[in-house]
A = this chain, B = another copy of it.
């Protein structure tokens, strides 16, 4: 009923459903983010900036669990869209500060619809959502 290879069955993995659900939910964002001209990664980047403007790339990376190798190209695209600006710090030339433009700030109001739409698509009970959230942050910390 149980052999030595059971631990290698896909259905006995915890990481795989995490990976699959993560991708599936991110793909649900696409139709709602496309009108805003944002990808999912760009969206969560904007979310951090909407909460706290004028932050360093390093801080952004810590909040999003992303390194400069990922963030630099993302930020350059957001800058090309005129949603943000990138400026070297005067006190310390190593630091790059990200700031929202008027356009980027204005996008916040349009983005309000996104979480609403996703909540409707996502078929999960409030109880499960709460449990899931808690367990995930327990792992992250």
> Interface size for chain A: under 10, 10 to 19, 20 to 34, or 35 or more residues?
35 or more
Please, which residues of chain B bring their CB within 8 A of the CB of A19?
22, 26, 40, 44
Q: A7-B112, A21-B18, A63-B10 are in contact. Are A135 and B128 (CB under 8 A)?
A: yes
A103 at interface (Cβ–Cβ under 8 A)?
no
Q: A7-B116, A18-B132 are in contact. List 12 more A-B contacts (CB 8 A).
A: A8-B51, A8-B112, A13-B44, A13-B47, A14-B129, A15-B22, A15-B25, A17-B140, A18-B18, A123-B139, A128-B135, A128-B138
Which A residues are closer than 8 A to B by beta carbons? 4-5, 7-10, 12-26, 29, 40, 44, 47-48, 50-51, 63-65, 108, 111-112, 114-116, 118, 122-124, 128-129, 131-133, 135-140
